[in-house]
Structure 1
């Protein structure tokens, strides 16, 4: 299940009275935005694995969520007063900022020069971690977090890696 199809899935779980205490669901693509459209009081306790949750408490995340909420209000986006941030938004924010850093380091927007500059870049992300672009394969080192759905549609982080995880872009089983 991915993206918007999560909403009817979770609705039907609730309709059938299936609670996390009965059968906990671990999702890999359910975030704050998907949960915003459903009654999450019935979904408390189900799990999601991401690299970022809006509910993370740190100054970088507070500034990130505050800026986005202000942007939504200024642009008069639909339901601006209820906007949420999520993992894909944080990933995009990180990517744009790392690209900016690489352009500044390269002194140009020339693709080949920026690509070289990207290797080894780091960025202090809203997740609270310093993310790193791998020097060799340009995959991003990120944390792993598991969150538990709260009644308000946010997540309590119940597990997080102590450090970012080095990217492994290829399965060892495919390479054999």
Structure 2
């Protein structure tokens, strides 16, 4: 007898579950999986289920390129949810453009990019670094030390942070870079330098295993985290759990999602995520953004009725979704999302107290074409804590 089941919508999932960023990219996978399951349980899209092809590049840009080529050229997959580091996105971008594919990219990144083969669902620097710089300068002081992993995202993000700090009368007392696979021995001299220089805060764009080592050694060095915190764009709840919450309380995160957000949409997401994944990592910016972009995709697909990159991309730019982090919509001019920035301080239980959050979504400005460096992103009164 013929098979009457409707054909599935085949998509690719290209995140590393191992390697230097295996922890955070696994959270991307979990958020993606939860959204796919929710959509399929509700009947799929136009009565057809989403069928993900999941491959693990293990953090290797060469493997990202090879597996993306396999998806696009051999498996007939035109839509990919994937990549985290900028190196992996850059590795697959030429293939997407050549094969008319469409990447849904859920990571914060350095900006300064536009491609009609990508929908960018992570925060841009004007939605994270600018409010964080204001907060540090107003609440902690003008002397900032910068440290990052040695690749494009940290170098570009740190360049912007330096420009903001210096344009507003602050001082960058040092800027240091370490390899992605840095060991404890290479980080310890940095701790000595922090103790010697006594910055008011440390802005970190270290990621992956190196970032986890940084936070552990910071605590080991006995540096006062309340007085001299590490402020980052990446220290989310799952990584805090892996490091140890008792080693992270007092550190700061600038992000558009916190697990502690109190809204009906986030309470539903938190409950569903914990029921589905049990003792795994808690909900975080990594899993939530991946989750939200799949729901955006499903709504766009329902309108477009096709996985054709152009038609689907055009439909996505008209799509809205009430995500756990808030209402989402793309900016049609640059293919990035309007997002609501926030700043949180880590608590001893591994969650965040939200110190400040914008009143409304902020337009993405990936080229920093309209964001002013010489004037505060927000008024000083806007960046004082809203909790004790």
Q: Secondary structure at the match of 1:81?
A: coil
**Equivalent position of 1:55 in the other structure:** 260
Tell me, yes or no, if structure 1 residue 163 matches structure 2 residue 360.
Answer: yes
Q: Which residue, out of 328, 333, 347, partners 1:131? A: 328
1:9 matched residue in structure 2:
214
Structure 2 Cα separation of the partners of residues 169 and 152 of structure 1: 34
Asked if structure 1 preserves the Cα contact closer than 8 Å seen for 2:321 and 2:329, the reply is yes
Q: What SS does the corresponding residue of 2:288 show, helix, strand or coil? A: helix
2:238 is matched with 33
**Partner residue of 1:99 out of 297, 317, 322:** 297
Superposition deviation, residue 4 in structure 1: 2.7
Give the number of the structure whose alpha-carbon radius of gyration is greater: 2
3-state DSSP class of the match of 2:343?
A: strand
User: Matches of residues 68-79 of structure 1 in structure 2 within 5 Å?
Assistant: 68-72=273-277
**Aligned residue for 2:286?**
88
DSSP-derived class of the 1:130 partner = strand
- Measured after TM superposition, the shift of residue 58 of structure 1 is 1.3
* Kept after mapping to 2: 8 A contact 1:64/1:126: yes
CA distance in 1, matches of 2:217, 2:254: 21
Please tell me whether residue 19 in structure 1 is matched to residue 224 in structure 2: yes
Structure 2 match to 1:148 = 345
Query: 2:83 maps to what in 1?
Result: none
Larger RCO of the pair (alpha carbons < 8 Å, separation 6+): 1
CA distance in 2, matches of 1:82, 1:113: 37
Distance 1:95 1:146 in 2: 22
TM-score by length of 2: 0.41
Runs of 4+, deviation exceeding 4 Å: none
Partner Cα separation in structure 2 for residue 57 and residue 139 of structure 1: 25
Q: TM-score, normalised by structure 1?
A: 0.87
Kindly state the Cα deviation for residue 82 of structure 1 after the two structures are TM-superposed: 5.1
**Alignment partner, residue 319 of structure 2:** 121
Residues 111-140 of structure 1 show CA distances to partners (whole Å, capped at 9, x for unaligned) of 21111111132111101x211111222111
Alpha-carbon distance between aligned partners in 1 of 2:283 and 2:248, rounded to the nearest angstrom: 19
Unaligned runs of 5+ in 2: 1-205, 371-388
Aligned position for 2:306: 108
RMSD, aligned α-carbons: 1.6
Return the offset for 1:164.
Answer: 0.8
- What are the Cα deviations for residues 36-82 of structure 1, in whole angstroms up to 9, with x where unaligned? 0233224322101111011111111111111111211xxxxxxx335
Cα distance change on mapping 1:82 and 1:89 into 2, 3 Å: closer
Distance 1:172 1:133 in 2: 17
